[in-house]
Structure 1
């Protein structure tokens, strides 16, 4: 059976708000469906069913934006098997492809050319115990081959979250193998507070803000 359709929540053109690609114009393909129930989720609308679209139509719509990068996100994009041929075909066309995933599922089947942005959910998320440890193992292994296609994102809401993240990073020395981005839950923790913690601990991470929420503070979709 050839997988060729995906359930889509929205396809839009915006500024990449997070990750090491923050600031770049980006074509986003937001897939529908998740169900992981993270606290502070800011895309709950993507948990419901979307509209079905075939892979060639998705590619046509994203390429029409003529953006330098294309991101596949959700919801949880890895729940839909057809996402794998979509990413592969985009890579074959020479596109720079990002995958942003909640970190609950392994990225072992994702095309090696795709830049994988993987969440590590802290305690305040309510789903911390569901982080997929295999993704850390995969990133550490890829780092030995000088791969630049893994990065991890940790968004914290409290000192407890930060201490959890620091312990995890030090345990695995994850920052030695790939980029680690750390930010705050919008309006739950002051960015200056996180910056002070990072500087005081000499923690080798890149701090980020959710850029799109400062550009379009009242928008709920399409950013």
Structure 2
């Protein structure tokens, strides 16, 4: 029996966020997510039926001349077979990042995978879904992301960092068109935080165009 995943889309673009920003990357977007964040920009991935075998997914990835692969969603870990895909991509020699909401236990994710994990801020409407025990499982290779929509979100995020220190890189990202990046930059400098300000480069280039 073939191992399958429900796939929303597989596309080739520039990584718009996190450590590999600007680098050509293959994105594998899995369908489905248990959360409904207020600022979600991939609602189109909540539903759909497009079952692909692991072999077919790997074949599609290999069409492109890059080893960088981003597995995203939705919430990719909501499909248990995501772990099988990650293991296979590691064996294929890919350099993998996994974008996850942090609401599902990351224990068991292949250690070669770089995890990029959200902490849901209050303005997301899903702050109650945060699994804070995940933070201590992050390593230096991983990244912890806060999507910030207001000054109160910022203050809340600073408090979370003080309560749950991490060795992962920390990203502060403004909600697109809701918070001015310069305001977030000023707050970071005022607090002298050792975090990385990130903007969504792909949206600056292509807006909300699907598949970019």
Q: TM-score, normalised by structure 1?
A: 0.92
Q: Is the 8 A contact 2:136 2:164 kept in 1?
A: no
Aligned to 2:197: 207
Q: How does 1:46-195 map to 2 (within 5 A)?
A: 46-139=45-138, 142=139, 148-174=140-166, 177-195=167-185
Q: Is the 8 A contact 1:8 1:30 kept in 2?
A: yes
Give the match for residue 222 of structure 1: 211
The 4+ residue runs of structure 1 with deviation greater than 4 A are: none
- For residues 88-113 of structure 1, the C-alpha deviation after alignment (integer angstroms, 9 at most, x for no partner) is 01101111011001111011010000
**Contact preservation (8 Å) 1:3, 1:81:** no
Gaps spanning 5+ residues in structure 1: where? 143-147
Aligned residues: 212
Alpha-carbon distance, 1:68 to partner = 3.3
TM-score (norm 2): 0.97
Query: How well do the aligned residues superpose, as a CA RMSD in angstroms?
Result: 1.2
Gaps of 5+ in 2: none
1:10–1:31 CA contact under 8 A, matched in 2: yes
Deviation for aligned residue 1:3 = 6.6
Deviations 1:36-89 (A, max 9, x none): 111110000000023000000001101211223101000110011111111101
Pick closer, same or farther for the CA change 1:218–1:89 going to 2, 3 Å.
Answer: closer
